[in-house]
Amino acid sequence: MSRLRSVTTSARLLSLGGAWGEVQLVATSSHVILDLEGGNYDTTGLPCRDRALANLSPETAIRLRELLNEAIAVATEADPAHPGLWSDSAVRSASTEVRRRRPA
């Protein structure tokens, strides 16, 4: 489990972050803004950060919440011994293989 930084809440901002990245949600009068930043590895095996921003209508935000609830239900029922398809070690291994196959 990731080490989580403290959660910041206010009437309009929710933030959750850890070693894996950060999620920020901002509520406006008519939208929910979702700001994601994640840490991963590039094809050379070096750490990189990626960011995405989405301006969601309340209806889309509700659908996203439903999808997250479904994913959480599946995750809580998954075999704990399963390492996951894209663990850090899997990504590092794939990037090492890509580097190895590149011509010098």
Q: Which domains does the chain have, with CATH numbers?
A: 8-101 (3.10.450)
Neighbouring-strand partners of residue 14: 9, 25
Please name the residues in contact with 66: beta carbons below 8 A apart, sequence gap of 6 or more.
Answer: none
- Report the distance separating Cα 95 and Cα 10, nearest Å: 40
Which run of H or E residues covers position 76? helix 58-77
User: From first to last of its 104 residues, what are the pLDDT tens digits of the chain?
Assistant: 455 566 555 558 888 888 778 999 999 888 999 999 998 877 777 888 899 999 999 999 999 999 999 988 988 887 777 666 666 676 667 666 666 666 65
- Report the distance separating Cα 37 and Cα 13, nearest Å: 16
Q: What share of the chain is helix, strand, coil (3-state, %, to 5)?
A: 35, 35, 35
Q: How far apart are the first and last CA of the chain?
A: 38
- Report the distance separating Cα 3 and Cα 8, nearest Å: 15
